[in-house]
Amino acid sequence: MAVATNLGFPRIGRHRELKRALEDFWAGKIEEPVLLAASRQLRARHWQLQRESGIAQIPSNDFSLYDHVLDAAVMVGAIPTRYGSLRSDPISQYFAMARGLQDGALDLPALEMTKWFDTNYHYIVPEFSLGMPFELASRKPIEEFLEAKALGIATRPVLLGPISFLLLGKMAGGMPPLVLLDALLPVYEVLLTELGRAGAGWVQIDEPSLVLDLPEGTQSALSTTYERLSKVAGCPRLLLTTYFAGLETHTKLAASLPVAGIHLDLVRAPKQLDPLLRALPRDRFLSAGVVDGRNVWRTDLDAALKLLLRAADVVGPEHVFVAPSCSLLHCPVDLSFEKGLDPGRRSWLSFAMDKLLEIRALTQALYTSDAPSEEFEKSRRARAGRRNSNRVHNQAVATRIRTITEDMTRRRSIYTIRRERQRSLGLPLLPTTTIGSFPQTAEVRKVRAEFKAGKRDRATYEAFLREEIARAVLLQESLGLDVLVHGEFERNDMVEYFGEQLSGFAFTENGWVQSYGSRCVKPPIIYGDVSRPSPMTVEWMKYAQSLTKRPMKAMLTGPVTILQWSFVRDDQPRAETCRQIALALRDEVADLEAAGLRVIQIDEPAIREGLPLRRAAWQEYLDWAVECSRLAASGVKDETQIHTHMCCSEFNDIIGAIATMDADVSLALQDGSPKCICAFSVSQ
């Protein structure tokens, strides 16, 4: 019989309990034992929720106080020497690696942080050095397995695989981290031995690097690694887990590895199923990730069941694990708390708790001939509701999309002509400006909270914001800046602020997901066709410009970034949704220009992170991403100066795309650890 499984559960808790406990600990309001007790309570609750939802193989060691990659580094003793002075205080050492530590004469920078593959989750980048010694320095996977076992819950421990762990890190001197593999593998061998002794029947070993273009030698390293690990005495069965893309050219390699089972992300890459089934030995288990672990839409259970039946026909239903596509870390926890959502739209959604029920329903459907369950009926009603809803489909938007021409993505003149016409701005050869936003002070946040709570009326709130803008303008003038900004005090978030004013967006009250550590975000949900009912920023920008004779720079978030930092509808290509957002922003740009704003900045910090995981697919993405950015910006006169801004990206990967965006000015914030460099450059 098929087995209902899960790859990972959100750590933060239904009410962000982990966030509050962490921040209280960092603030000195609670001691370490209280933090650890709160963590145990969360783990126990999550294991119990999964068991009650019908999950048979429940993950353990998916919980983390900050980040699972950092946990793996600490587990194997990959701790840079600069943190050695904290060896006697493990939790202080752990958080110093994550957040840095400044305490008197002690000044420890944090490890670098970057995006986890193509998600909006950030992981801590391990630092390696040649000759770094590895040891089983933390028994966390074993301890949490035993913790669940003491509660009567058998779990499947989750480990980050040794190949992916090394590839996700950085090696001093630029050497490939895989040179450390021989030194690292004994730690995994000891760990697997101890997990087997503790009673673990299965271990989930995540190797998401298998969906990447692997460096030379990595394929043979994978074979060598799993030959060794499979021979560990008493080793539990290993489930090799991949996600976020398909195996593609690595299919035969993955099928040849001596593991008991392989997990596939069949949401992102359903076409990889048949090739793997042809290559997979008949004694292997297949974990089928058919429930989307990264988005919030109710699963098409009928379509998912067809994939499961195809797998069961080949490997047998008893060798099928029904699973989410990836860890549910990337989903909000509990839809039942969303009282403010329209019931119709709410019925289209599925958060982590709902996804567990979908997994259970699919598992039951694989081995029963009974009538379809209520979950299947919910799925069908949701699909029909979305398909037929006039809230989703806007004929005017569809018609306008069809009118897009190549000319709409091009400025009226080439840059050299625009540069001459923009001299009328009266700027010096090397003008000065800032990125845009000023600090959201405690006072700003307090007044905004009072306004949202109804304790302050709109007139009083907006008067406060105008005062803040006036102070920001006065400060910049006193500093002698050439192009001013208004500070963005009226904005709560660079995506949410615009989404709240665009049609096709919905917002949750408690749809939080972890970004890193205690930082949680509440992404908008793009459920329908996007348009702009009315101007969004024009009145604020007109007011700001009225305060100064210097050019005031209007600030907008770009279409690709709004797309990337939202939960995006899954019933049309992402490029189509991005074009709709671009057209809405194009209207805003035109209105800003008509209102007298001669400098307009369109921020695209997320354009790099949208790159597909395989390089072969990069150009297709960059083509439509750049098209959308140009579509938003290109409706203005030559005299209007368009800026773009990108930050925290590896710009070498997209430098050609940045050039083709054809902005008049590009501002780039290069994120290096621990310093940031801000560059102002005029496009050529």
User: pLDDT value at position 609?
Assistant: 86
User: pLDDT value at position 650?
Assistant: 64
57 Cβ contact list (under 8 Å, min separation 6): 3, 4, 5, 6, 155, 156, 202, 321
Cβ-count burial of 180 within 10 angstroms (0-12 exposed, 13-18 middle, 19+ buried)?
buried
Cβ-count burial of 407 within 10 angstroms (0-12 exposed, 13-18 middle, 19+ buried)?
exposed
DSSP one-letter string for 11-71: SS-TT-HHHHHHHHHHTTSS-HHHHHHHHHHHHHHHHHHHHHTT-SBEEES---SS-HHHH
Q: Where are the domains of the chain?
A: 395-682
Q: What CA–CA distance (Å, rounded) separates 356 from 10?
A: 12
User: pLDDT value at position 666?
Assistant: 82
Q: What CA–CA distance (Å, rounded) separates 585 from 532?
A: 8
From 99, 95, 43, select the one nearest 74 (Cα to Cα): 95
User: pLDDT value at position 648?
Assistant: 57
- Tally the C-alpha atoms within 13 A of residue 298's C-alpha that lie toward its C-beta: 23
Residues in the chain where the model's pLDDT stays below 50: 670-684
Q: What CA–CA distance (Å, rounded) separates 482 from 434?
A: 10
Does pTM top 0.85 for this prediction?
yes
Start-end of H helices in 595-649 = 618-633
User: pLDDT value at position 672?
Assistant: 39
The CATH architecture assigned to 395-682 reads Alpha-Beta Barrel (3.20)
Q: CA distances (Å), 392 to each of 164, 434, 559, 572, in order?
A: 40, 38, 19, 11
User: Is beta strand 676-682 parallel, antiparallel or unpaired with respect to 665-671?
Assistant: antiparallel
Q: How far is CA 607 from the centre of its chain?
A: 13
User: pLDDT value at position 302?
Assistant: 95
User: pLDDT value at position 370?
Assistant: 62
User: pLDDT value at position 367?
Assistant: 82
Looking at residue 517, what DSSP letter applies?
A: T
User: pLDDT value at position 655?
Assistant: 83
User: pLDDT value at position 215?
Assistant: 82
Start-end of H helices in 422-494 = 442-452, 458-479
Q: Which residue has the tokens 């439509």?
A: 624
Q: Which residue has the tokens 């005029």?
A: 682
DSSP one-letter string for 389-440: -TTT--HHHHHHHHT--GGGGS-SS-HHHHHHHGGGG---SS-----SBPP-
